[in-house]
Amino acid sequence: MNKQHWTTLAGGIATAWMLSACSTAPQRNAMLDEAHQSYDRAAANGQVTQYAQGELSRARDALARADSAWRDKQEDAEVNHLAYLAQKRTLVATNIGAQRAADARVETAGAERERLRADVRTREAQVAQANARSAQAQAQNAQAQAQFAQTQAQNAQAMAAAEAERANRLQRELAELQAKPTDHGLVVMLQDVLFDTGHATLKEGSQAKLDQLAVVLKNHPERRILVEGFTDSVGSDAMNMALSQARADSVRNALLSRGVPADRIETRGYGETRPVASNDNAAGRQQNRRVEVVFSDEQGKFAAAR
């Protein structure tokens, strides 16, 4: 056999083998291909892989059975039926994944709503607590103010009682000094504070009365006094005026020596004016050689000069 014949024979055998191979290659199944495409799309869907794993697994198993039937060259009707079932299961997995994803979104939205509602309730509770604390603080403040007002009232009452007691005490003490109320205030005539004619020296019998007067002034520091000096009619008017002033100053000095502050004592001489007895006899003249003490009011002020 020549070379050309052998080549022709080999080419014919190759062609025959290729034709034989082409005749045995399986044909593609359109429904199976469509089932594969549906499954691939479902497997790439995050909703399906997250929420429908079981359904997607069953779809994969159904697709595997369809592939096995196609490889086993079962009848097209059987392959198509299995491919149809696989596609349906894929569709079920896709729908369930979408539904469960929607439910999850609804649940998430509901949880968010509940969280927001809880936040609102928390804020409302905080506001209510703040209001309660504010109301409590206001109540405590009102109570404190009421207690302060009560304390002030009690203090005022106590001060009024003390003032009344002090006034009563002054009245009792001045009564012991035989003070007389006049249009110009309370006046104490120091009957025991006597002077010799023409002299401003206090006589020994004056000391007890001056001691008593000093005690009254110390007990009532709000009061001031005006010491008024007088003489009898013996001597000239000028001499008597100077003598009456000297007698008032003598009483002032005696009170100063007993601890009465100087700014609480004023003095004034009136000479032989305003006698309280007749100057025609020795007894009357002795009464006119006197000193009178005028008490101020509680503010330390004197009435108009007589």
3-class DSSP string for 242-279:
HHHHHHHHHHHHHHHHCCCCHHHEEEEECCCCCCCCCC
| pLDDT, average across residues 255-265 | 96
- What is the per-residue pLDDT across 209-256, written as a single tens digit (0 to 9) for each? 899 999 999 999 999 999 999 999 999 999 999 999 999 999 999 999
Q: Point out the least confidently predicted range of 11-20, 85-94, 254-263, 270-279.
A: 11-20
- The span from the CA of 167 to the CA of 52, in Å, is 103
Residue 157 has pLDDT above 90, yes or no: no
pLDDT at 19: 44
Residue-averaged pLDDT of the chain: 85
pLDDT at 148: 86
Within 75-205, strands assigned E span: 180-182, 185-189
Q: Which residue has the higher pLDDT, 74 or 144?
A: 74
Rg (CA), the chain: 66
Most confident range (mean pLDDT) of 7-16, 26-35, 104-113, 228-237 is 228-237
Q: Which of 77, 106, 85, 90 is nearest to 37 (CA)?
A: 90
Q: Which residue has the higher pLDDT, 283 or 174?
A: 283
pLDDT at 23: 45
**Which pTM was predicted?**
0.50
Q: Which of 218, 214, 285 is nearest to 253 (CA)?
A: 214
- What is the per-residue pLDDT across 180-205, written as a single tens digit (0 to 9) for each? 888 878 899 876 566 777 888 888 77
* pLDDT > 90 fraction of the chain, expressed in percent and rounded: 51
Strand (E) or helix (H) holding 295: strand 291-295
- The span from the CA of 206 to the CA of 193, in Å, is 4
Tokens of 233: 């009619």
pLDDT at 193: 64
| pLDDT, average across residues 31-50 | 94
